[in-house]
Structure 1
Amino acid sequence: MDIFKLKPGMSHIYPVSPENYEAATGQARKYRKESRTGESYFAVCPACDNPIQLIGLYKNTAESGRKPYGKHTCQTIPNLAEYDQDAYLDCPYSDPRRTPPTARRKAESRLSRQIIQLLHDQFDRVIHILSKETGICFSTALSKKMLEGYIVREGWSFRNAAPYNLPWAFVEGQVALPLYGQRICADCALHDAIAYNYPAARFEETPAYNSVRILQNAGQYVDLSFAFVSHKRSVRDEHLFETIDFWVYRGIAPKMETVYRNTLNIQTDYFLNLINLPDERSHRNQKLLDIADELLKTRL
């Protein structure tokens, strides 16, 4: 992997390099281990919170010209991170030759409990990222409906779900929802696609800044739906590539017509770095946090 963090949990993510490692760790002893073959350098996997060893940080690796990278140690590193086999098996950076688990993750697993707690604490930021990614200004009622659907399908048990990708994994497997009557960002790609591909729809300005509501022209009917599909992960040259498609369509199965479809690139550090912003740069939505507490508190 080409990124690391210093501790389990919601901590900052850094690209692997000697400069970043030195500045982040302050050269503290807890991140190093001496042996007869030399000194090893350790950190934490951003995807599964297991300990990793940084390979080739100061010495060339066996592969000619290969950049420094992180590799799972598959053992606990005292005072740094405890090894969790289940979390390792679900990690996109784990051994690509392994056979991935087919059963759902258990609700009592470390990752499941961490995801539920994170969604409880950061639900407003999950919705904020989805809004920026899609152009939909999710209402409080729609956000609550999405959370209720997540709980019904026990989204924390999906094998692709992890703390770093929570906003996008939150909508994986979600039932399609109607877009009619919802607010969207004015002049965004979604707005332009609906305006071009669906003449039955009209847009009404709202008091909210730079948003319009999707309605219908007189005598016509709007049946727009949206869903999130095709969540994919792969690792190439130690870098994680992860995407999910945002899909807006008209009609009902099997006669559906795509109005807008966009592949969302999931950045490993986007969500975790957002929730580590200082308080003075954070804008929280207490209504959404109250909804999350109401629906999730019994599962914590």
Structure 2
Amino acid sequence: MNIYKLKPSDTNYKILSREGFEMATRKLPPYYKKQERNELHFAVCPVCNNPVQIIGLNKKLQHTDLPYAKHYHKTIRGLAAFDKEAFESCSLAHPGSNLFKDSRKSACTERERQILISLQENFDQVAYLFQLYSGIVMTPHLAEEMLKWYVAEQGHLYRGGSLINAPWVFVYLSRAQKLWGRKIKDPDLREVLSKKVPSGFINEKDQFITKGQEKVFFWFAKHKQIKSAENTLKETMQFFVTCDDKEIFKKTITFDYGLFQRLISIPDEKRRYKGKLTALAEKYLG
């Protein structure tokens, strides 16, 4: 892999380069370690939080001019502990191998606790991302329904989850939700609903309403993880809307880890959804 992070608690990753790694670590322990006559280099896997060894940082490799990271199956003191179960579930080590919705880790470790903390502290931005990708406003009522389900299903133990994809996995694991009464912002979805639902319309409050008996639901499915051509992780899922069990809208959502990192870096006073939604997350995830 050509991505890494410096601490298990980091929510984003860095692209690996010789100069960038030197600047980020300042060539200090535990990232740089002496072993007999050799110098070894370490960091943290962005997905499973296990140690990774940086190969080819100061020595040109035969098969590539670029350094790369590989999982290191021992604990590096002061950096990260090796977790075998997390490694076996890691999408960078085994892409797409554990993406069943009911697939869970056997125990909650520090990695899973960090996922809960990140969701709790940044739930306002999780709500923003949900609206950005789905076109549906996350009201307090909807947020509470999704939080209840996530907790009941032990979503933090989902084997395909990590700190960097936590916002998307949160909504992915949610059950199907009724669309009636939801505020719809996406113009494409609004148009489809108006055309494909016989008695459906968008009212003056941007809410989707039906006068008939149509059952309209939305949900997320088909979480996929692959290694990109650049040897980084690419994740997607599908967003669906159905009317009376017939699919009327579908969209592929690509996870943008950098966007989430930028959003959670915004000061609290400038966050649009900070307040009630974050309080709900504290209630259920705290």
Q: Fold conserved (TM > 0.5)?
A: yes
Identity across matched positions, percent: 31
2:135 equivalent in structure 1: 135
In the other structure, the counterpart of 1:76 is 75
State how far apart, in whole Å, the 1-side matches of 2:238 and 2:11 are: 27
Per-residue CA distance 1:243-263 (angstroms, 9 max, x = gap): 111101110xxxx22111011
Identify the residue that residue 215 of structure 1 maps to in structure 2.
209
Q: Write the mapping of 1:1-300 to structure 2, written as runs, cut at 5 A.
A: 1-36=1-36, 38-64=38-64, 67-94=66-93, 104-187=104-187, 189-206=188-205, 212-216=206-210, 220-237=212-229, 238-251=231-244, 256-279=245-268, 281-297=270-286
Equivalent-residue separation in structure 2 for 1:123 and 1:289 (angstroms): 5
Cα distance, 1:284–1:74 mapped onto 2, change above 3 Å: farther
- Taking structure 1 as reference, are residues 283 and 30 closer, same or farther at Cα in structure 2, changes over 3 Å only? farther
CA contact (8 A) 1:90 1:100 kept: no
Once the two structures are overlaid, the 10-residue window that deviates more, 156-165 or 104-113, is 104-113
Q: CA deviation at 1:178?
A: 0.7
Could you tell me whether the CA contact under 8 Å between 1:105 and 1:112 is conserved in 2? Answer: no
Q: Bigger shift: 174-183 or 16-25? A: 16-25
Q: Is the 8 A contact 1:180 1:224 kept in 2?
A: yes
Contact 1:56 1:68 in 2 (8 A): yes
> Deviation string for 1:109-145 (max 9, x for gaps)?
3333222232222222222211111111111101101
Deviation at 1:17, TM superposition (A): 1.2
In structure 1, list runs of 5 or more residues that go unmatched: 207-211
Task: Determine the C-alpha separation between the residues in 2 that align with 1:45 and 1:70.
Answer: 8
Q: Is the 8 A contact 2:89 2:98 kept in 1?
A: no
User: Counterparts of 2:195 and 2:17 in 1: how far apart (Å)?
Assistant: 46
Distance 2:98 2:106 in 1: 18
CA shift for structure 1 position 186: 5.0
Equivalent-residue separation in structure 2 for 1:124 and 1:100 (angstroms): 26
Q: Which amino acid aligns with 2:164?
A: Y
Q: Secondary structure of 1:164's partner?
A: coil
CA shift in 2, pair 1:12/1:24, >3 Å: farther
Output the CA distance in 1 between the equivalents of 2:247 and 2:44.
41
Alpha-carbon offset, residue 294 of structure 1 = 2.0
Task: State the distance in 2 between where 1:285 and 1:20 align.
Answer: 34
Displacement of 1:180 in angstroms is 1.2
Distance 1:161 1:180, change over 3 A: same
How far residue 37 of structure 1 moved from its aligned partner, in angstroms, is: 5.6
Please state whether the residue corresponding to 1:53 is helix, strand or coil: strand
SS in 2 for 1:242: strand
Contact 2:5 2:46 in 1 (8 A): yes
Alignment CA distance shift 1:70-1:274 (3 Å): farther
Cross-structure match for 1:209:
none
Once superposed, what is the RMSD of the aligned Cα atoms?
2.7
What is the letter of the counterpart of residue 229 of structure 1?
A
CA distance in structure 2 between the aligned counterparts of 1:150 and 1:56, rounded to whole angstroms: 41
* Partner Cα distance (2:128, 2:261) in 1: 13
Aligned partners of 2:233, 2:37: CA distance in 1, in Å?
30
Change (3 A) 1:194 1:57: farther
Q: Which amino acid aligns with 1:75?
A: K
Partners of 1:89 and 1:123 in 2: CA distance: 28
In the aligned structure 2, how far is the partner of 1:161 from the partner of 1:29? 29
Paired residue type of 2:201: R
Instruction: Tell me the TM-score normalized by structure 1.
Output: 0.83
Q: Answer whether contact 2:99 2:223 (CA < 8 A) is retained.
A: no
2:45 and 2:262 mapped to 1: Cα distance? Answer: 15
C-alpha deviation, 1:169, in angstroms: 1.1
Letter of the structure 1 residue corresponding to residue 30 of structure 2: K
Q: Please give the TM-score of this superposition, normalised by the length of structure 2.
A: 0.87
